[in-house]
Structure 1
Amino acid sequence: MITCYVQYELNPSKTPEFEEYARVWIPLVEKFGGTHHGYYLPHESPNDLAVCLFSFPSLADYEAYRIKSLTDSACQKAYKFAEDTDCIKRYDRHFLRPLEMPS
């Protein structure tokens, strides 16, 4: 399994728009075979920081999702919403693997 950790720099005046964007992406990740672990929004922290985590069975499965998302109409609508509302200033993706516990 591979988990994608995305760190967002938000436009603080557009947090409600980012929340709308995030709500759309949770089922989209799941539509393409991923497991979404949620979005985490600013609270008693910098007002421009948000993160999300989602997992796919493998990096290859994640890559397939990325390719499919480029032509999926719902994904394109979500990308355009973020662009039109300017709710995201930047984002960084990191890929993590879970710690395997000995049996």
Structure 2
Amino acid sequence: MRYHCRGNAAGSTLRLTLGCLLGLELRRVGSGTRLTFGKAGEAALTQWMADNAQVCWLEHNEPWTMESELISQLNLPLNLDQNLHNRFHDRLKELRADARERTRTLPISA
């Protein structure tokens, strides 16, 4: 959870998704293989999440058994894995792919 809340898009699919939906510019950094929203974009995303995101959890002896069941029963539009049935799935996948494609045309950020 800490990395989703304070990390960067290179290590968090949640951050990648939210940043793309918010229109942040995805950039290649470092050697050019890592994709983030840059320092300013990641800071803006962290602040947006602090202001707008909520987290809750449920203790379960075998939490890995719950994921498929929850995805099939709930409307979880930001989850791509195992979620082809969600009507937002294709659009979200397209938004993320477009952001990756756009960043390949830009120079590597410092």
Larger Rg: 2
- Tell me: higher relative CO, structure 1 or 2? Use CA pairs within 8 A at least 6 residues apart: 1
- Note whether the superposition's TM-score is higher than 0.5: no
TM norm structure 2: 0.28
Which structure has greater helix proportion? 2
Looking at secondary structure, tell me which structure has more strand per residue. 1
